[in-house]
Structure 1
Amino acid sequence: MRGSLAAGRTEAKDWFLPQAGLLFRRSDDNEAFASYTQNMRAFESSATGGPFATTQAGFDALYLKPETSTTYELGFRTKSPRFQGVIAGDYVDFKDRIIAFANGSGIQSNPAILQNVGDVRSWGVEAAGTFRVTPHLSLFASYAYNESEYQDDVVNAAGTIIAATAGKTVVNSPRHLAKGEITWDTGSFSARIGANYTSKRYYSFENDAEVGGFVIVDASIGYRFNERISVQANATNLFDRDYVSTIGTNGFANRGDSQTLLAGAPQQFFVTVKAGF
């Protein structure tokens, strides 16, 4: 960053952040659980992120409240000789959520601007399970559904709306995540193939710009000669899918597609040989 570093003081303090959890064990193989957590996020103090990643004038103009959250979780776990699974739901209520607004090109040393944007509500359900079909063959699957929305519009000091975010989906927050995997392992020979799905993600606060969903397939095959020597070949992005992996590296814009997007890694192959002495 050009110029001198910003100097000053930020404060994030809360003397009471309670946490509570419950566990009901119906049997050795089945249990229900619940939790309640209050948390507060401290400000990042580095020169590359947080309130100090700006000019002195920019820092002096900031008036940030620490971001707080209240989380509720409820779930159930089960296991048997052939199946293990879990399902859980959660609800998170954020207060004084902090987001970074893009302020021009980051490569030209234009830092993103931080601002409290009010409340964010998030709720979701996730489930995962492993099923052992045979002693050598197992299947794994997981799925997560998440709804995260801004509850307020972003306004300036005069009360004028600068970003109509109320009711909009939180940026970089996919609604659906899923994973599936098939594994074959005889003890000496192993093979695995898995797929990961990520649904679309918005990269503007008003949700008028997005990147599409994608499925990435990975695979591996290996052989154990003995307890000390093994070899394994891995393939990532097996079908060489083009996709956007990272968004928001320079903050997010209110609207439009002025954004920094990073492409995902192409098809890659690796071979690993392990030897113990």
Structure 2
Amino acid sequence: MRAYSYGGYQLGSAWGVSNQATFDQLKKTIKPESDWVYDVGYRYTTPLIVGSLNLYHADFSNRLQSLTAGTIIQPVSTVVNVGGVSMYGVDAALTVNPIRNLSISNSVSYNHSTYGNDIVSQGTTYALKGKKVIDYPQFMYKANLTYRFHGAEAHFDANYSSKRYFSYVNDMSVAGYWMTSMGARYRFGNYGVLRNLTVDFNVYNLFNTSYISQIGENGFPLTGDFQSALAGPPRQYFGTISAEF
């Protein structure tokens, strides 16, 4: 069982609604969220290969989520009981060490989450049953290649997230995207009073991909576009010199 979330004024919490009448109405309809979760997995480990497979299923009752109504410039967010949610998923990971100091990792996950009930808001019934859960990519993939040699280390990372639905009835979504980064590190060791002297250099968003990083900043509407999304940062460079005394 999950306790009610905390939050400030109009931040999608039962304790931060816009007026007393809304709070009094919520007291009659919301209940603590609960769920049953079933999980089974297997892990295989050798010096050459490390692999894992995980299957899971969850049944949520009284699923509480943030709902936004009103206009774009005057949004009103509240918490709403969307009823039941059914979730099925699989996670798989594989790490291969083909030669000494070289590690190649891949992981993939698939999640199918749908609402189990329609929802009524301000006298209108919205066909929510069978729709995908908002702001949750169904498919994600991650890859990493790392090579270490004495004090040097270099890595390359690639991640993929599939599209995410923006509205509860799934008529708006943001596209999936690839994100890549790379970096290198060298540990010089101890020099006089400096211990573990290390230099890092990393490049984030290596191919300067344009993408939406966060959605629902002003909440999620039942239908339509609420224009509440944040663009992801462009290519960025980070350098660090660190030492201990």
TM-score by length of 2: 0.91
Describe the SS at the equivalent of 2:88.
strand
Letter in 1 for 2:108: Y
- Tell me the residue number matched to 1:35: none
Is contact 1:148–1:169 with CA below 8 Å preserved after alignment? yes
Aligned-residue Cα RMSD (Å) equals: 1.6
CA distance in 2, matches of 1:102, 1:184: 47
Moved more, 221-230 or 184-193: 221-230
Identity over aligned pairs, percent? 37
Q: Which runs of 5+ in 2 are unaligned?
A: 191-195
User: Is 1:78 matched up with 2:41?
Assistant: no
Is contact 2:170–2:223 with CA below 8 Å preserved after alignment? yes
User: Is 1:153 matched up with 2:118?
Assistant: yes
Moved more, 81-90 or 95-104: 95-104
CA distance in 2, matches of 1:164, 1:188: 58
Q: Which runs of 5+ in 1 are unaligned?
A: 1-39
Is contact 1:93–1:120 with CA below 8 Å preserved after alignment? yes
Instruction: For residue 106 of structure 1, report the CA deviation from its aligned partner.
Output: 7.1
Instruction: For residue 123 of structure 1, report the CA deviation from its aligned partner.
Output: 0.5
- Tell me the residue number matched to 2:240: 272
Is contact 1:253–1:259 with CA below 8 Å preserved after alignment? no
Describe the SS at the equivalent of 1:53.
coil
- Tell me the residue number matched to 2:91: 126
Letter in 2 for 1:72: Y
1:1-277 aligned at under 5 Å gives the runs: 40-48=1-9, 49=11, 50-55=13-18, 56-62=20-26, 63-104=29-70, 108=74, 110-156=75-121, 161-226=124-189, 228-277=196-245
User: How has the CA–CA distance of structure 1 residues 275 and 106 changed in structure 2, closer, same or farther, with 3 Å as cutoff?
Assistant: farther
Letter in 2 for 1:221: A
Describe the SS at the equivalent of 2:133.
coil
User: How has the CA–CA distance of structure 1 residues 67 and 53 changed in structure 2, closer, same or farther, with 3 Å as cutoff?
Assistant: same
TM-score by length of 1: 0.81
Describe the SS at the equivalent of 1:111.
strand
Is contact 1:119–1:151 with CA below 8 Å preserved after alignment? yes
